[in-house]
Chains A and B, each alone.
Chain A
Amino acid sequence: MRELIDHTDGINRLLSRYGVKFGLYKNGTFHEQLFPFDAIPRVITHEDFAKLEKGLIQRVDALNLFLKDVYGKKQIVKDKVVPEEFVFSSSGYLPQCEGIVPPKDIYSHISGIDLVQAKDGEWYILEDNLRIPSGASYPLIAREICRRVSPETFTKTPVVDNRNYNKLLKEMMDYVNVGGIPVIMTPGRYNAAYFEHSYLAERTDSVLAMCTDLFVEKNYLYYRDYRGEKKRVGVIYRRISDDYLDPMTFLPESLIGVPNIMDVYRSGNVAIVNAPGNGAADDKGIYYFVPKMIRYYLDQEPILKNAPTYLPFYEEDRKYVLDNLENLVVKDVAEAGGYGVVFGSELSKEKLEQMKELIQKESRRFIAQEVIDFLDMDIMDKGVRVPRKADLRAFVLSGETTKVWASGLTRFSRNPDSFVVNSSQGGGFKDTWVLSR
């Protein structure tokens, strides 16, 4: 592994050569920035992964059943396992998706589940991302380069080859395809994750399309080529959010969607990956109920734990949160990407009081969690090995069966005082090694 660390700059140079960047806006101007790679990998033992794999499959299967239920019979709400306030008032719940049954009954085809490992070795789920989770392409391409730089590392260490993500993705897309070409739809090159859109299109042999390339005719979705011929689209892995997907159904001002695509989807004439409306299941408020969903739908005890979470919506929890706010982390359920996260310990007395008032006034808007003492991960910072906070995004693909990719995106904070690991806030990434024995 020493060789990998010694060649970190070279690896980053190659990543730059292949355009492994993410975009962000600073002062209204678009910049592309290298997503810094640290060569010290996260290593997950064979035993740990076996447990994670079972737990993640269990969780994602339950979440898929929840989505089917919420947009169908709503039995879990009728049985009062999940309060209706947490489902139907969630911004992720889309009434326009009521009654739609997606091809093969799969809602969350690609689930990005964020986890952290505590110092006692226990893994905790931090959040579920069931809309358009990104990040798989980074460890995928990084592994390719690392193997080139230090083949010996990989002959001496029994690391499971992770370069099958594209194969898993393609298999899943083929499984739900209702007849036609596979398309990855991007909002365009100024999207933060554009590298990933284009790279996955290349690796899965899909067409990378923008909204202007697609149109609906007689309730089918087509891709138009330059000769004027049209190709039917059977599956679309869309990398734009629900709100912008179809101006005829959602935001009418959307210029990056495809008019009437929801009608095609409703008729079963195209598979949309992931299904619109999945936000109903990955809302930070709903997260609290996932262990209950597992018991309800699968009649199993959850294998993986949630971080200890409180819902100010419930009086008992609210009292605890208000009494212990300085020791908790509060998250706005409507925010994502590391935004809307407030650590009570970092607030002044005045701000703490303001936060308490807000929680009392808008109790549905927040969740509060105990601050988990993350297991720090070492990174190289200017030649010195230093500990930093890091999380893991595991990718679970649901097709004919549910599979966990034996890798994942490990993101770390470069700031020694920060728990926030998001790339948009200056974080970097590592490869994630799963040991085969």
Chain B
Amino acid sequence: MGIISVEKLDHLYWLGRYTERVYTTLRNFFRFFDQLIDQPEGYYKKYCERLNIPDIYTSNHQFVGSYIFDQNNPDSVYANMMRAYDNAVVLRDELSSNVLSYIHLSLDVFEKEKATTAPLLELQQVIDYILAFWGCVDDYVDSEDCRNIMKCGKYVERIDLYIRLNYYTKDIEKEFSKLVNRIYKTHMCYNMENLDRLTEMVNRKSDWKEDYREALSYLGNIIEVR
């Protein structure tokens, strides 16, 4: 319908963030999982530190199971997928049943595969579904405002994770320019001061490893949703 209430704005933005959180953490986790094979016990702690999530795990093996599939662990990828679903399910009239179905499918993978011994094998499906979800958003969501708000959420989350996970500066710059482009297209309130500061950090090619706390604080407060 394209008439967006404040409540829906909030759900659209956070749907963008949570789907992106699942997508990027999974992609990154695939690489990390590979490293874990050759690393000593406790290697997962580094990962927790970078993401600033509490270390509640007891071993590399237990970390993999809990961080991916434990729905009661609020930091798990599954829990984040559930949060994406919570935001999506109230947006059927904006998204369409076709778009929403990819969130259902992703959630079903977690539900079915929580006892799997080969997580990477099945989780590829989640990545595929999320990519299909975004493709479907462009095809089926009529309201440009809706698409822009979701994509603002997506890029904020992506930049946040890229900074935390030490992605290359050029990757961060690329995503930042996409975010700025989207922000200008939406009619959402945004914090100009924070945007300017972050722009300045990007322009001076900031050392993200060093300045990541400052950058994350600006980034987290750019978009003003509730």
Query: Could you list which residues of chain A lie within 8 angstroms of chain B, going by C-beta atoms?
Result: 16-19, 141, 181, 184, 188-189, 194, 198-199, 201-202, 205-210, 212-213, 223-227, 231
CB <8 Å contact, A225 and B1: no
For chain B, give the interface size range: 20 to 34
CB <8 Å contact, B105 and A225: no
Within 8 Å of chain A (Cβ to Cβ): is B37? no
**CA separation between A207 and B93, bound complex, in Å?**
7
CB <8 Å contact, B92 and A198: yes
Whole-angstrom distance from the CB of B91 to the nearest CB of chain A? 8
Whole-angstrom distance from the CB of A303 to the nearest CB of chain B? 37
**CA separation between A184 and B105, bound complex, in Å?**
26
Residues in B neighbouring A189, C-beta threshold 8 A: 86, 89-90
18 residue pairs from A and B, CB less than 8 Å apart: A17-B101, A18-B97, A19-B89, A19-B100, A181-B3, A189-B86, A198-B93, A199-B92, A201-B1, A201-B92, A205-B1, A208-B92, A213-B7, A213-B8, A224-B5, A225-B6, A226-B5, A227-B187
Whole-angstrom distance from the CB of A299 to the nearest CB of chain B? 44
Within 8 Å of chain A (Cβ to Cβ): is B214? no
A-B residue pair count with CB separations less than 8 angstroms: 73
Residues in B neighbouring A18, C-beta threshold 8 A: 97, 100-101, 104
Interface centre among B3, B6, B96, B100 (most CB of A within 10 A): B3
Residues in B neighbouring A223, C-beta threshold 8 A: 3, 5
**CA separation between A208 and B4, bound complex, in Å?**
10
Residues in A neighbouring B1, C-beta threshold 8 A: 181, 201, 205-208
Chain A: which residue is nearest B103 at the CB level? A19
Q: Given the known A-B contacts A16-B108, A19-B97, A231-B3, are A198 and B90 also in contact in the complex, defined by CB atoms under 8 Å?
A: yes
Q: Given the known A-B contacts A16-B104, A19-B97, are A198 and B5 also in contact in the complex, defined by CB atoms under 8 Å?
A: no
Whole-angstrom distance from the CB of A205 to the nearest CB of chain B? 6
Residues in A neighbouring B188, C-beta threshold 8 A: 226
Within 8 Å of chain A (Cβ to Cβ): is B222? no
Residues in B neighbouring A212, C-beta threshold 8 A: 5, 7
Whole-angstrom distance from the CB of A145 to the nearest CB of chain B? 11
CB <8 Å contact, A210 and B96: no
Whole-angstrom distance from the CB of A116 to the nearest CB of chain B? 32
Residues in B neighbouring A198, C-beta threshold 8 A: 89-90, 92-93
**CA separation between A213 and B3, bound complex, in Å?**
11
Residues in A neighbouring B90, C-beta threshold 8 A: 188-189, 198, 208
Within 8 Å of chain A (Cβ to Cβ): is B26? no
CB <8 Å contact, A202 and B93: yes
CB <8 Å contact, B97 and A199: yes
Produce 1/0 per residue, B63-103, CB < 8 A to A.
Answer: 00000000000000000000000100110110011001100
Whole-angstrom distance from the CB of B88 to the nearest CB of chain A? 9
Residues in A neighbouring B105, C-beta threshold 8 A: 17
**CA separation between A208 and B8, bound complex, in Å?**
10
